[in-house]
Amino acid sequence: MPVKRARMETKIAPRVEDNTFNGTRKLVRPTLPPIERRRDPVHTEDPLTHAMISDTHGTPESSHAEAFYFQKQMQQQTEMTVVLEDGEQLHGIIQWYDRCTVKLRAGRARILVYKAAIKYLYKTSDAHPANSVMK
């Protein structure tokens, strides 16, 4: 007995719009608890806590002089000396910075320094001027 095969018809269904990924992404921001949670004594031991707490809500953080100075030194690749609070000196070129840190390139080494640990910094070339006026 020959077996009859039924002819299957395929129909193309119209595309239904669903919420599948179409190539564009939507930014989703979680709702964070109020600032008072960040002032919790449990979080004070965290070294980054000082970066999260800001007592000057709504006021400008700075005059942008620091950002201008860092940008200029980065573009000119100026050799800088960074003196830390404990007296240690680091020598290198500022490679990157943000609100809380500075990244130095010293030869092949990369050093990330918290700004809170920096006592002061200066251009290495200014440390020993060739023609000193004061003798």
CATH class of 63-126: mainly beta
What tens digit of pLDDT does each residue of 103-115 get?
Answer: 999 989 999 999 9
Largest CA distance in the chain: 118
Asked if 81 contacts 72 with a C-beta cutoff of 8 angstroms, the reply is no
43 pLDDT above the threshold of 60: no
pLDDT of 97 reads 93
pLDDT of 126 reads 86
Output the CA torsion 53→56→58→64 (10° steps): -100
Confidence of residue 31 (pLDDT cuts 50, 70, 90): confident
Distance CA 53, CA 97 (A): 19
Who has greater pLDDT, 118 or 21?
118
**74 exposure class (CB count in 10 Å sphere: 0-12, 13-18, 19+):** middle
What tens digit of pLDDT does each residue of 69-88 get?
Answer: 999 999 999 999 999 999 99
Q: Which range in 11-20, 45-54, 57-66, 77-86 is most confidently predicted, on average pLDDT?
A: 77-86
Who has greater pLDDT, 72 or 27?
72
Asked if 49 contacts 43 with a C-beta cutoff of 8 angstroms, the reply is yes
Quick one: which of 90, 97, 34, 92 has its CA closest to 68? Answer: 97
Asked if 80 contacts 73 with a C-beta cutoff of 8 angstroms, the reply is yes
Quick one: which of 70, 56, 63, 55 has its CA closest to 101? Answer: 70
pTM above 0.85, yes or no: no
Residue % of the chain over a pLDDT of 90: 39
Break the chain into its structural domains and give their ranges: 63-126
Who has greater pLDDT, 15 or 111?
111
